[in-house]
Amino acid sequence: MKGGSLKGKKVLVTAGPTQESIDPIRYITNHSSGRMGYAIAEAAQKRGAEVVLVSGPVNLAQPAGVHVIDTVSTEEMFTAVKSHMDADLGIFTAAVSDFTPITRMEGKMKKQKDQEIVSIDLKKTPDILQYAGEHSTGMYVVGFAAETENVEEYAEDKLERKNADCIVMNDVSDTSIGMNSPDNEVVMLFREGAPMPFEKMDKRALGEQIIDALIQRWLG
Ligand code: C5P
């Protein structure tokens, strides 16, 4: 098999968007398809790892041999991650919502006559990657940085702030890559060692390359 093996290793992956409920029929979400995380989970499983995939709401088939935990909100994703902090490698690809409504309305939010502007109060969600970075007892922590500007600068900052071992950065201002597209083009930044750039490619192929790069850098 090309690349090293992950036999005996437990790998935790988060993928997809989250949905934050406003009322029983409305929610806040984003354009994440979950493809990158699913491809990474599948690649890790192929390399022999026990894989737990904590997924937001996506339209993708469950990868064979992978333990999928379906979640909806950031809070649910966070709870699932906290119960798998014993993983050896954590890859946090999910496009987690940064904010959630302070309260979820019991009934449908009604349109009020003559009300042109409506506001919904939001609060910050828990930062799952940061939690993993700060509470890791041996987990090699990998985050993603999807930015539209100053990508490299933000990625370096994320590596430090979130206590991660690696950040996979991509520029989502280019709509032919990232978020909801089949392809991605990334650069991996490591706490130890030189950055690794990858050519633009299909997310499944890239999932394999990211796993192989992690095996090389993490397990040496
Ligand atoms: O800070 P920012 O959201 O740009 O960081 C992106 C990275 O952090 C991704 O790896 C994402 O999965 C993770 N993240 C998270 N929980 C959040 C926000 C981001 O795990 N609440």
Q: Residues with Cβ < 8 Å from 183, sequence gap 6 or more?
A: 176, 177, 200, 201, 202, 203
Statement: 10-96+120-219 belongs to CATH 3.40.50.300: no
Residue 97 Cα, ligand 1 centroid: separation in angstroms?
A: 8
**CA trace torsion 140, 141, 142, 144 (10° rounding):** 180
- Residue-wise pLDDT for 34-75, tens only, equals 999 999 999 999 999 999 999 999 999 999 999 999 999 999
* Confidence check on the interface: ipTM exceeds 0.90, yes or no: yes
Q: Is the CB of 128 under 6 A from ligand 1?
A: yes
Q: Is the CB of 22 under 6 A from ligand 1?
A: no
- Residue of the CA atom closest to atom 2 of ligand 1: 145
Q: Is 162 annotated as a binding residue?
A: yes
> Looking at ligand 1, which atom is closest to the CA of residue 93?
12
All structural domains of the chain with their residue ranges: 10-96+120-219
pTM of the complete model beyond 0.90: yes
Q: Is the CB of 94 under 6 A from ligand 1?
A: yes
pLDDT at 3: 65
- Residue of the CA atom closest to atom 4 of ligand 1: 145
Tokens for 117, please give them: 């502007």
Strand, helix or coil at 63? coil
The set of catalytic residues is 30
**Which single residue is written with the structure tokens 């933000």?**
154
Residue 90 Cα, ligand 1 centroid: separation in angstroms?
A: 13
- Residue-wise pLDDT for 122-157, tens only, equals 999 999 999 999 999 999 999 999 888 888 888 999
Pair 207, 36: CB distance under 8 Å: yes
